[in-house]
Amino acid sequence: MRHSAKPLVAVSASYMEIAERRHPAYASSAKNVDALLEFSGCIPLLVPAAGDRLDAEELVEHIDGLLLTGGRANVEPHHFGGAPFPPDEPIDPGRDGIMLPLVRACVDAGVPIFGVCRGIQEMNVALGGSLHYRCHLVPGMQDHRMPRHPEVTQEEIFKLRHEIRLTPDGSLRGYAGAASVWVNSLHGQSIHRVADRLRVEATAPDGVIEAVRLKQDPTFTVGVQWHAEWKPEEHDLSRTLFEAFGEATRIRALARASGGAGQLRVNPPLRAATA
């Protein structure tokens, strides 16, 4: 029995080549693991981008949560009926191949999900939505990509760039206790058609969808477009989301330890919202 065990959270890892592209690796930014350890109180378990060599249905039986991280490669458009990528576009078919079915398996099993940047896009595609290839090419939308000049620092890359408006009756509005917050911005793709099973929780001034949540969510199934793992100790909403995700995984872990299904509702710690 695992009554006292910490929740086990699967963390999506991306395929990459290191050491001048001589050594293939599966990796995730240390910031993702650090945020889980510090603010969610979970045990992180990296899941390699190994495609159908992994069984999503089998994996979901052993985890209490899923953190979908950011990544350089975008979700391939054949998963949502989009136009083919240019030949030089980075892709990660192994990650698509395991994470899209794993999202669906987690939703079906009531396993908490927190999607960040690429993660919100994976959630939307897995549940039947589509993506803009480059949101800055959509009329009226701004350029949300990170700066790439040679001298750019991490602080500049991840600094707060624009405000987002939180849906008035949404759970993120309750988490934030405010109508809007400022977030960072490091993405090229964005949600186009929202999956039927998701509701919009936040938007940028130009209309880019910044957060979604599963409708009638029995646990915590939330995706955000910004990088919430960047210094959550300095960003109240990001920290609160990691804390709420951690609480949902603990409920799941207790239910699994006692033989329950784990599909228990986690209500957000609502605060008085301001107009």
Amino acid at the residue 190: S
Longest dimension (CA), the chain: 56
In the residue annotation, 247 being an active-site residue is answered as no
Contact call for residues 219 and 112 (beta carbons, < 8 A): yes
Contact call for residues 237 and 219 (beta carbons, < 8 A): no
Give me the pLDDT at residue 250, please.
97
In the residue annotation, 229 being an active-site residue is answered as yes
Structural domain boundaries in the chain = 8-257
The whole-angstrom separation of Cα 248 and Cα 272 is 22
The residue with tokens 């994470």 is: 99
List pLDDT tens digits, range 177-209.
Answer: 999 999 999 998 999 999 999 999 999 999 999
Q: Which of 11-20, 25-34, 133-142 has maximum average pLDDT?
A: 25-34
List pLDDT tens digits, range 157-178.
Answer: 889 999 999 999 999 999 999 9
List pLDDT tens digits, range 60-114.
Answer: 999 999 999 999 999 999 999 999 999 999 999 999 999 999 999 999 999 999 9
The whole-angstrom separation of Cα 31 and Cα 46 is 13
The whole-angstrom separation of Cα 217 and Cα 199 is 10
- The angle, 0 to 180 degrees and rounded to 10, between the axes of the packed helices 93-109 and 118-126 is 70
Name the architecture of domain 8-257: 3-Layer(aba) Sandwich (3.40)
Q: Which residue has the higher pLDDT, 12 or 20?
A: 12
Query: Which is catalytic among the residues 76, 201, 210, 229?
Result: 229
Query: Which is catalytic among the residues 42, 117, 132, 144?
Result: 117
In the residue annotation, 106 being an active-site residue is answered as no
Query: Which is catalytic among the residues 132, 144, 227, 235?
Result: 227
